[in-house]
Amino acid sequence: MKLYLTKSITKIGSLRFYSLRFLHSKISYIPVGLTVLLAFLLSSCTHYYYVANIQNIPLFKEKNEYRISGSVGSGDESTSIEVQTAYSVTDKIGIMADYMSAKGGDVANHNYGSGNSYEGAVGYYRPVGRFGVFETYGGLGFSNQHHEYSSFY
């Protein structure tokens, strides 16, 4: 879209009025139409089974501490189970592991998804003051998924 700025002077008696106007050329609606069409074509109804795992934050302060936690989740579309562990090997180094399994949908009608996730990490921690903890972990994770759909929507 191109805009042109024009200046006009209107003279009434000894008074001059200056005004600025924007004049535009014909707007091309082709890019807007293509954008809307592309957005419509690229979005579709599909199956979704999204289950996020819980963050494993051990907050160690000294050597030989450990954390074990578990969770079970269930909803309209999916169910999941997760187990997390962490252990402070030294007064500065910690290790952690995480396992999660999730599934959802209707297996009898071949319309479902399932998967497992495995994670492990090693990190550094340090107490900060009386109540704070600084920690940073880096690790590696693997997962597998299986999806089966009997029909498209």
Do 95 and 33 reside in the same domain of the chain?
no
Give the C-alpha separation, 98 to 118, whole Å: 6
Residue 82 lies in a domain: yes
Do 142 and 101 reside in the same domain of the chain?
yes
Residue 60 lies in a domain: no
Residue 54 lies in a domain: no
Q: Measured at the alpha carbon of residue 23, what is the angle toward residues 20 and 25, in degrees to the nearest 5?
A: 165
Residue 58 lies in a domain: no
Residue 31 lies in a domain: yes
Per-residue pLDDT of the chain in tens (153 residues, 90 and over written 9): 455 445 555 556 666 555 555 555 555 556 777 777 777 777 655 556 677 888 999 999 999 999 999 999 888 778 899 999 999 999 999 999 999 999 888 777 777 888 999 999 999 999 998 889 999 999 999 999 887 877 655
> Domain limits at 35?
3-42
Indicate the number of domains in the chain. Answer: 2
pLDDT value for 42: 72
Residue 153 lies in a domain: no
Do 11 and 73 reside in the same domain of the chain?
no
Do 91 and 22 reside in the same domain of the chain?
no
Give the C-alpha separation, 151 to 71, whole Å: 33
Nearest CA-CA partner of 88 in 68, 69, 57, 60: 60
Do 37 and 70 reside in the same domain of the chain?
no
Do 33 and 70 reside in the same domain of the chain?
no
Residue 55 lies in a domain: no
Do 74 and 123 reside in the same domain of the chain?
yes
Beta bridge partners of 16: 11
pLDDT value for 130: 86
pLDDT value for 72: 93
